[in-house]
Amino acid sequence: MATLGNPTNTIAILQKYDFNFQKKFGQNFLIDSNILEHIIDAAEITKDDCVLEIGPGIGTMTQYLCENAREVVAVEIDKKLIPILENDTLAAYDNITIINEDILKVDINQIVQEKNAGKPIKVVANLPYYITTPIIMGLFESHVPLDSITIMVQKEVADRMQVGPGTKDYGALSLAVQYYAKPKVMLTVPAGCFMPRPNVDSAVIKLTRYQNPPVKASDEHFMFEIIRASFNQRRKTLVNGLGNASNLKVTKEEVTKALEQMGLPATIRGEALTLVQFAQLSDLLR
Ligand code: SAM
């Protein structure tokens, strides 16, 4: 079994299987063992852990996970990669389950039941960037038992996840992530650490799941509708943005009154509100 995480062995496997990268699947494989070790350290993987890996590719990070975790489940959409994983790069491990499926269609709660008796798992992934947000939101909103999610994402997206009000990157993703988890950027990763090189720089971010959300909204779903509507038309005031959103059924007068009760001006925009304030606003409008 070749140890991956370097250009030579990666190229050898790709040539052996005559593998062509699929752009539509966001395939950029890691070729730097230092970065891989950093990711395993950041995720704090131990022999007690059951880990879900999204998109193992040719199994580069999976090898590190299998060495360090008790149990690994890897979900890969590209069927051409399955024989490489099963017959070659992961053949030596007996603690791996490979699932050939789209992660957005997999019942992750069932995997957690089967492989970890319903106890929280860790998610580790070098994500396909084209579906970063749906993957993260799917994990949180389906209430999968989770300790943490340690993921490689586009650097700009990592920044968006951890900023607060008043910055240009602040938006619905920041608020959603910060409602469910404590985000921390662990390292930035230059494009040269991947094959092929992506057009953007990347970062590893760790999202440590809260036991209980840091704010209490009486209707979580409604709060997120308010948040989405507030950032859909970012340059508009909240009064106009929310008052014009057809799905919310709130009037401009109601928004003005709620803001007044919170001691905020009617000219304020969503980008100035904290998560606590969004929870208050949604409770008042409800
Ligand atoms: N983990 C490998 C590494 O670090 O070298 C590969 C990472 S690559 C950025 C993303 C991987 O996710 C690819 O193997 C791709 O085929 C897979 N992928 C893309 N979309 C997927 C989906 N919807 N479900 C599961 N895997 C997916």
For 58-102, the pLDDT digits (tens) are 999 999 999 999 999 999 999 999 999 999 999 999 999 999 999
Cβ-in-10-Å burial (0-12, 13-18, 19+) of 82 comes to middle
- For residue 132, give the amino acid letter: T
Query: Which of 126, 133, 152, 200 for mutating ligand 1's site (highest number of atoms within 8 Å of CB)?
Result: 126
Atom in ligand 1 nearest the alpha carbon of residue 128: 10
Give the pLDDT of residue 208.
98
Give the pLDDT of residue 1.
63
Distance CA 194, CA 55 (A): 14
Dihedrals phi, psi of 97, to nearest 5 degrees: -120, 125
Cβ-in-10-Å burial (0-12, 13-18, 19+) of 141 comes to middle
Asked whether the predicted pLDDT for residue 141 surpasses 80, the reply is yes
Query: Which of 33, 72, 78 for mutating ligand 1's site (highest number of atoms within 8 Å of CB)?
Result: 78
pLDDT class for 235, splitting at 50, 70, 90? confident
Give the pLDDT of residue 3.
86
pLDDT above 70 coverage of the chain, percent: 100
Average pLDDT of every residue of the chain: 95
Asked whether the predicted pLDDT for residue 247 surpasses 90, the reply is no
Nearest CA to ligand 1 atom 6: 57
Atom in ligand 1 nearest the alpha carbon of residue 78: 16
Q: Give the pTM.
A: 0.93
HSE-up of residue 284 (Cα within 13 Å, Cβ side): 18
Mean pLDDT score, 242-253: 90
Distance in Å, CA 202 to ligand 1 centroid? 15
pLDDT digits (tens, 9 = 90+) for 207-220: 999 999 999 999 99
